[in-house]
Structure 1
Amino acid sequence: MKNIFLSIIGIFSCSLVIFSQSYTGHTVDNFAGIHGVIYNPANVVASNLRADINLISTSVLIDNDYLGLGIGNIADIGDEFDDSLERFKSDANNFNINADILGPSFMFNLNKKNSIAFTSRVRVMSNINNINGELFETIADDFGDEDDFDFDNQNFVGTAHAWAEICLSYGRILISKPKHLLTGGVTVKYLQGAGGAFTKANSLEGNYNGSTELLQSNGLLTYGTSSDFDLDDIEFDNLTAGFGLDIGFVYEWHPNRKDEETRYFQDPYKLKIGVSITDIGSINYDNGEVTTYDMNNTVDTSTYEDDLQEFLDNNYDSTIQSQSTSFQLPTALHLLLDYRLAKKWLISAQADLSVVATDEQLNNAISNTITLMPRFESKWFSLYAPVSLRQYGGFNAGAGLRFGPLSIGSGSILSNLLSDSTQSADVFFGLKIPLYRK
């Protein structure tokens, strides 16, 4: 069993090297099809497509307030954080990773007022909140730091969870007036949990002496996993079932629509307002193992050999117990305001807000984000330029495009190119078969 500190550090480094995804901007496109449904299930109905078939899409989003993620720095990241990377150490640093693979999926219209969609997804989320940056860096560097420092971790918590989803979405036109259109949708999710790991310390304080390599600490540290879970080698062959739910509504204002016989896609809206709540639910695991370490000790870190789990077991008293665990999905509220400037030019404002407590173990959470995005949108081609403010990643500027069946983009690529101090990185890629309306 690997300790969650090093496991998440490993995922963080690996994700930056693999560097794939985050559907930033793409889910708002009125021709995004199935990608709009995972953002708001009401988007399945009154769509600009007759049907949409997703072949494969992938997205990765990384937010943190510890490490600079400029393009030049990302290329230098290997198994460990390179010394050239800019650090922003504090008493309470945070890391979020959100990886999402959208597998074979489709949506189609049943009739004028009803539509359905089927989606399959694999997701991995990892959060570290309120960890002392100096301590984090020293652990990542195998206690090779020669500087002295004090640390005081309050409400430190870390959670990593991997699961798959098989989803059925249904949407219906609820109100259809000449100038007003209201749709609603719901997605029911059958969850298959691969497992998770978590750690927490309500109060962990102490100091490190770089010259003597002595680490003095006080407090309790809890670490646990679901049964047989290894964050370094996630397997989807022994899964645990659960259920989840998305729900959403979309309102459109069509000031020029003459009557109800004029189809909504023939007279594009002037204003669109959307609201949705996604990822309601949890996955319960039996027979998990929870270890509680008594950290009241002074230890010699010169004996550390790149295995934090072994180091903790050898130097601190601990108790182990079996315990059932329930991992909360990253429940989030999404708000959208989309305004049409001209026939093919639009500008949108989005708020993506976590409704999950980030100071509780077993909870994953998205980063609170506000995004403003101008875009050009047509049947076969869309181009968008999202500008966002992320909770831990700060200011970001990106770009993306959709060209027929291909979608690619990033909500941070421009920021990553222009500054080594950018603390967020994401990119997405998608390949599908869209069937547009005539």
Structure 2
Amino acid sequence: MKTPFITLIFIFFISLISAQSYFGHTVDNYAGVHGIIYNPANIVESNLRADINLISGSVFIDNDYIGIGFNELFNSNEDIDNSLERFPSSSNNFNINVDVLGPSFMFNLNKKSSIGISSRVRVMSNLNEIDGTLFETIEDGFDDNDDFDFDQQNFTGTAHAWAEIGLTYGRILWNKQNHLLTGAVTLKYLQGAGSAFTNSTNLEGNYVDSTETLTTSGELVYGTSNDFDNDDIDFNDLTAGFGFDIGFVYEWHPDRENDTIRFYQDPYKLKIGVSVTDIGSIKYDEGEITTYDMTATVNTATFEDDVKEFLDNNYNATAINQNIKMQLPTALHILVDYRLAKKWLISAQADLSMVAADEQLNNAISNTVLLMPRYESKWLSVFAPMSLRQYGGFTAGAGLRFGPLSVGSGSILSNLLSDSTQSADVFFGLKIPLYRK
């Protein structure tokens, strides 16, 4: 390959390291702080009296353009290109979600309420409705032998990096002998490190290999927040913003005999959770937005793997400075968790973006539906998530929580068995759990 694989993350301008974090682990009733980021109401009547996260990390990648054969990749000493299979279409998509959970903790205030504080660093990148053949030709430096046409009517791309400090408060809202309803909210103080974005609603054209000419018409917009460097994200010069998560959990305890038994002491038969996460935005002052007039025919022989330089040298551009408001990747999460036996459960989840895929200045998670059986006890949980992902198709994985250590992936099994995978994720966590007696 002429350009590194990392450039798949963001077309044209971005080269950095879209949803879901800690895939499968957040449902565990002993997940502690990790359960809060999925649904803040998980903080109430927890199986832990306190939980202290030391460091955790999660990476999620989902696309419908390129597949990787992991067996061939790890067993081959040749170029990585031999392990790649491309699926170009007129509307390819890429999503990346990197989530690092820093020092965080939660504890019970009293019998009815709990509180927690979390710290996170997040990077998300989405690329939607990009012509895969155009992308492939740019990736190969216009060293191609085929002519092609393209028409980009709803092309958008957004990359955003930010940190957040969250304060979670939850309490019991309603309880009867066999029923429990809890609710919670996480208020977030956001610190934006910067963003970059690109879009076009009318870019079309064709490429002729024999003459090495690219003929285009329409406009292409590219913008960044002030002084944002996608090759070196700086978390020292940050911009403030605010956001919040909100969630509710219902539990059915058919075997709870009287009100003296705490709900956490009597395992539920059915649990239903609903939450909305990442409501909010970060406003960047004095961002730079460049609009390129793409109506021209240019010689691609001058292209040297720097797309922005190529655009600046060949197309008329108008640049303005204005404030940029980046929305968070707002998402709806629905969970139904059923206890098959004392320590055996099966859950069904849906993670749904509340952001339109072609909406500008906004990241979005990949829509995902998940079914997961698991074994769950105080010191050990083992789970096997199986999911359908918006762009990556079917995936199957495995995860383990053993006391303070958690590791897993929602796609590792299908990736190892498949000749070509389009979605991958992995997470790890290290914490200090303080279990109830």
1:146 corresponding residue in structure 2: 145
1:23 corresponding residue in structure 2: 22
1:252 corresponding residue in structure 2: 251
Partners of 2:148 and 2:207 within 8 A in 1: yes
**Deviations along 1:200-246, whole A, 9 cap, x unmatched?**
00021111112221111111000000000011110001110000010
Distance 1:270 1:418 in 2: 34
Name the amino acid aligned to 1:241.
A
2:416 corresponding residue in structure 1: 417
* 4+ residue runs over 2 A deviation: 2-8, 72-78
Mapping of residues 230-269 of structure 1, within 5 Å? 230-269=229-268
Deviation at 1:117, TM superposition (A): 0.4
Deviation at 1:76, TM superposition (A): 9.2
Instruction: Work out whether 1:5 is the aligned partner of 2:11.
Output: yes
2:339 corresponding residue in structure 1: 340
Mapping of residues 32-431 of structure 1, within 5 Å? 32-72=31-71, 75=74, 82-431=81-430
Distance 2:76 2:291 in 1: 33
Q: Secondary structure at the match of 2:265?
A: coil
Deviation at 1:75, TM superposition (A): 4.9
Partners of 1:76 and 1:82 within 8 A in 2: no
Q: Secondary structure at the match of 1:31?
A: coil
Deviation at 1:157, TM superposition (A): 0.2
Name the amino acid aligned to 1:390.
R
Q: Which moved more, 1:257-266 or 1:329-338?
A: 257-266
RMSD: 1.9
Distance 1:84 1:373 in 2: 30
Partners of 1:4 and 1:199 within 8 A in 2: no
Partners of 1:22 and 1:410 within 8 A in 2: no
Deviation at 1:182, TM superposition (A): 0.5
Deviation at 1:22, TM superposition (A): 3.8
Name the amino acid aligned to 1:202.
T
CA distance 1:76–1:292, change in 2 (3 Å): farther
**Deviations along 1:123-160, whole A, 9 cap, x unmatched?**
00000000000001111111112211111112100000
Name the amino acid aligned to 2:94.
F
**Deviations along 1:292-348, whole A, 9 cap, x unmatched?**
001111111111111111100110011010011000100000000000000000000
Deviation at 1:83, TM superposition (A): 4.8
CA distance 1:77–1:110, change in 2 (3 Å): farther
Distance 2:91 2:117 in 1: 40
**Deviations along 1:240-298, whole A, 9 cap, x unmatched?**
00000100000000000011110112110000000000000000001000000011111
Name the amino acid aligned to 2:226.
S
Partners of 2:73 and 2:80 within 8 A in 1: no
Q: Secondary structure at the match of 2:86?
A: coil
Name the amino acid aligned to 2:261.
T
Partners of 1:63 and 1:97 within 8 A in 2: yes
Deviation at 1:421, TM superposition (A): 2.2
Partners of 1:69 and 1:425 within 8 A in 2: no
Q: Secondary structure at the match of 2:36?
A: helix
CA distance 1:224–1:150, change in 2 (3 Å): same
Partners of 1:190 and 1:244 within 8 A in 2: yes
2:4 corresponding residue in structure 1: none
Name the amino acid aligned to 1:380.
W
CA distance 1:213–1:232, change in 2 (3 Å): same
Name the amino acid aligned to 2:29.
N
Distance 2:160 2:390 in 1: 21
Distance 1:403 1:4 in 2: 36
Partners of 2:172 and 2:180 within 8 A in 1: yes
Partners of 1:22 and 1:411 within 8 A in 2: no
1:18 corresponding residue in structure 2: none
Deviation at 1:84, TM superposition (A): 4.0
Q: Secondary structure at the match of 1:37?
A: helix
Structure 2 portions without partners, runs of 5+: 1-6
Q: Secondary structure at the match of 1:86?
A: strand
Deviation at 1:436, TM superposition (A): 0.4
Deviation at 1:72, TM superposition (A): 3.3
Structure 1 portions without partners, runs of 5+: 16-20
Distance 1:128 1:172 in 2: 39
Distance 1:301 1:139 in 2: 10
Name the amino acid aligned to 1:63.
D
Distance 2:40 2:121 in 1: 18
TM (norm. structure 1) is 0.95
Partners of 2:102 and 2:119 within 8 A in 1: yes
CA distance 1:364–1:114, change in 2 (3 Å): same
**Deviations along 1:379-411, whole A, 9 cap, x unmatched?**
000000000001111111000000000000000
